[in-house]
Amino acid sequence: MIRFIIRRILLGVVVLWVITTLVFVMFFVAPHNVARTLAGRQATPQTVALVRHRLGLDQPVLHQYVDYLRGLLHGDLGYSFINSSPVRELIWQRVPVSFSLAIGAAVIWLLLGVSSGVLSAVLPRTFVDRSVTALALFFYSMPAFLLGVLLFYFLFYRLHLAGIPLFPGSGYVALTSNPLEWARHLLLAWFTIALVFAATYTRLTRSSMLDVLGEDYIRTARAKGLRERRVVYRHALRSALTPVVTQFGIDLGTLLGGVIIVERIFGLPGVGDLAIQSVISQDLPVIIGTVILASTCVVVANILVDITYALLDARVRVN
């Protein structure tokens, strides 16, 4: 088990190294004149030279690469060109918002998706099964931005017109400041993400559960007189969760890197919103920081998925 985890961590480190190298090549090597692009069309040669020196672009490429990696290892992502603030601080201020949004939505979509998928698989070809499948298909086909706009319109705009300020229109309140207001400001965004993602998990859990419920060991467990609840949740569900865990690791890692559209709709100052602002203003250090953060979240999520695999299925550890 320890060797398995170490191998996965080392593989994750290699993947991050490859990603950071590609980011360096894309932003510092591939463009013809990075300093001119960042300084703007109206910049004087002196300004361009100052930008080149500030970025270290007047140094050899290998020296730039070593400095770039050394800074990443020490958590130094440079300074924003717009407000001269450390990129690490700018991202760190936004991380709680994106993490709160992603974790809260993940809890909801797991509860909705897995429970409805199990219910649909236990009662196949019934009215319940067909209803769950129809709802899953509906939300699976619904773009997140459209669902977010609909929820915003009916549960914020129309309610406010009726004098019922149930949900706020935008903003974020820290969890440590006021837990109730924290949840209230995130609730619409949570359900916007959760309903769309839960549809995938419903279909995935149903399909996996139907396959597992037809296995010989399930029939043996039933023949021994075990309760149906124990057979379903103790034996079948554990084996059926493998593809669900795979999908969950990918989805959660992506969301932790920033939910751009949903954060924009509900006015949440998260990492996704920061990424959009940095692209519009061509703030190169911030762009690099958000890309590396998103990549790290995906890699770490996949490592945790592999470890969860090993805990759920001993065959993974052995192989």
List the pLDDT tens digit at each of the 319 positions of the chain.
Answer: 778 778 888 988 899 999 989 888 887 766 556 666 666 666 777 777 877 777 677 778 788 788 888 888 888 887 887 777 888 899 999 999 999 999 999 999 999 999 999 999 988 889 999 999 999 999 988 888 889 999 989 988 888 888 888 888 788 898 889 999 999 999 999 999 999 999 999 999 999 998 888 888 888 888 888 888 888 887 788 778 888 888 888 888 778 766 788 888 888 888 888 888 888 887 888 888 888 888 888 888 888 887 877 776 655 555 5
CATH number of 91-318: 2.40.340.10, 3.40.228.10, 3.40.50.150, 1.10.3720.10? 1.10.3720.10
Sketch the domain layout of the chain as residue ranges.
Answer: 2-73, 91-318
CA–CA distance from 116 to each of 122, 126, 207, 220, 248 (Å)? 10, 13, 12, 25, 16
**pLDDT reported for residue 30:** 61
Give exposure, 261-273, as e/b (b: 16+ Cβ within 10 Å): bbbebbebbbbbb
d(CA 109, CA 191): 8
Output DSSP code: residue 90: H
Fill in the DSSP letter of residue 184.
H
Give the residues across from 86 on adjacent strands.
79
d(CA 8, CA 12): 6
Contacts 24+ apart (CB under 8 A), 260-263: 261/144, 261/145, 261/148, 262/101, 262/144, 262/145, 262/148, 262/189, 262/192, 262/193, 263/97, 263/98, 263/101, 263/189
**Rg over CA atoms, the chain:** 24
Q: What are 197-255's pLDDT values in tens digits? A: 999 999 999 999 988 888 888 888 888 888 888 888 877 887 788 888 888 888 887 78
Q: What is the pLDDT of residues 123-153, one digit of tens each?
A: 888 999 999 999 999 998 888 888 999 998 9
pTM for the model stands at 0.81
Q: What residue type is assigned to position 131 of the chain?
A: S
Query: Is the Cβ–Cβ distance between 300 and 252 less than 8 Å?
Result: no
